[in-house]
Amino acid sequence: MSLVTTLIAHRRHRVFGRLVQELLALYGVEVPAPVEIGPGLKVYHRGFGTVLHPYTTLGADVTLYNGVTIGRADPWVPQEQSAMERVVLEDGVMVCAGAKIVCKRGVLTVGAGTIVGANAVLTTSTGPNEIWAGAPARRIGTRKGPAGATDGALLHSA
């Protein structure tokens, strides 16, 4: 487990939580205490520049690269007036470097085993084991089922 992943896991600590948040800030990582995180989170390249909205849920074995942003598509609107409810990344999702996942309204769900490509801007929910890329992101293919989901193998292009 990397130092940043360990710090993220301890960000809610009763005594050291504030110190942990400040240490994460040195890496440019913002993971508020309300973010729900499943087991097996992997953060690569120390997560430099990674920002997660408080209304984010990460499933088990999610992988985040540096520069990832997960949040609202309407940051100019006060939070209590926003139409965004939550962003959910299901189990085994991989979000590549610089990708942005922004929710316009309701709940945006990234399906289990989905890959969001580098610098993609994802604004819609995805199905399981899909590959999304581009700005705005579009589905460019699918992955093999759960057994092959970790190797990133392309099953077919869209």
pTM of the entire structure?
0.87
Q: What is the pLDDT along the chain (158 residues), one digit of tens a residue?
A: 788 899 999 888 888 888 999 999 988 999 999 999 999 999 999 889 999 999 999 999 999 999 999 999 998 999 889 999 999 999 999 999 999 999 999 999 999 999 999 999 999 999 999 999 999 999 999 998 654 444 545 555 55
Q: What angle do CA 77, 81, 85 make, to 5 degrees?
A: 105
pLDDT at residue number 107: 97
Domain assignments of the chain as residue spans, ordered by start: 3-142
| 3-142: in CATH 2.160.10.10 | yes
Cα(2)–Cα(76) distance, integer angstroms: 34
Q: Is 111 helix (H, G, I), strand (E, B) or coil?
A: coil
Structure-block tokens of residue 71: 């949040």
Cα(68)–Cα(91) distance, integer angstroms: 17
